[in-house]
A and B are shown apart, each in its own frame.
Chain A
Amino acid sequence: KAGVTQTPRYLIKTRGQQVTLSCSPISGHRSVSWYQQTPGQGLQFLFEYFSETQRNKGNFPGRFSGRQFSNSRSEMNVSTLELGDSALYLCASSFGGQPTYEQYFGPGTRLTVT
């Protein structure tokens, strides 16, 4: 069974640009969550999507947004990039239904903002 995949794996962007990251969940999983991981702040919850609807949201500014498609694939967008957005962005999937974090993570996208 294929795991969670994320593309691209590495990305370099300039301040002020925007970026879109993609996540394909495990087949049959309907919930996708996104996280930001930095050495200073650790892992922080961005948001969770289930059946194309944002079900939960963390404490991040509106520059961070996401969506989920009918096939459960999800994208995350960051607009007007700042240097502090440099991080590993992880997505995770689970079956869904009741919100739970028994989830499977992808390898992450390493974003560097210069």
Chain B
Amino acid sequence: EDQVTQSPEALRLQEGESSSLNCSYTVSGLRGLFWYRQDPGKGPEFLFTLYSAGEEKEKERLKATLTKKESFLHITAPKPEDSATYLCAVQDGNNRLAFGKGNQVVVIP
């Protein structure tokens, strides 16, 4: 069974204090790893897809990287509007999707 573990569960950052979120996974036949952002009371918002080890994607202050066992979401110089829960998910060889429990990030002004 596919497993996705995200750490830390919760993180409080000062504005401008860079940090990284971790997503470790066990999956049969990885077809893609996805990062989403979810704000309270809303559906998740797609951020990135990573397909193979060594791949990196960037969007504004966010950068996602992938190895064979884990992915990192780096948040550089965060702002209060980056406060959200960040969700990691993997697509397996049968095209099913498994999510982690999320990283809840709070950025303090």
Contact = CB atoms under 8 A, between A and B. Distances in A.
Interface of A: 4, 33, 42-45, 48, 55-58, 90, 92, 99-108
15 contacts: A43-B87, A43-B99, A45-B98, A57-B96, A92-B43, A92-B44, A99-B91, A100-B91, A101-B89, A102-B34, A102-B49, A103-B46, A105-B43, A105-B44, A108-B43
Contact of B96 (A58, A103, A105, A106): A58
Contact of B100 (A42, A45, A56): A42
B97 interface: yes
Sorting the interface of chain B by its residue count into under 10, 10 to 19, 20 to 34 or 35 or more gives 20 to 34
Given A101-B32, A101-B34, A101-B91, A45 B97 contact: yes
Given A101-B32, A101-B89, A90 B97 contact: no
A107 B94 contact: no
Contacts of A44: 99
B99 A42 contact: yes
A4 B43 contact: yes
A90 B43 contact: yes
B43 A106 contact: yes
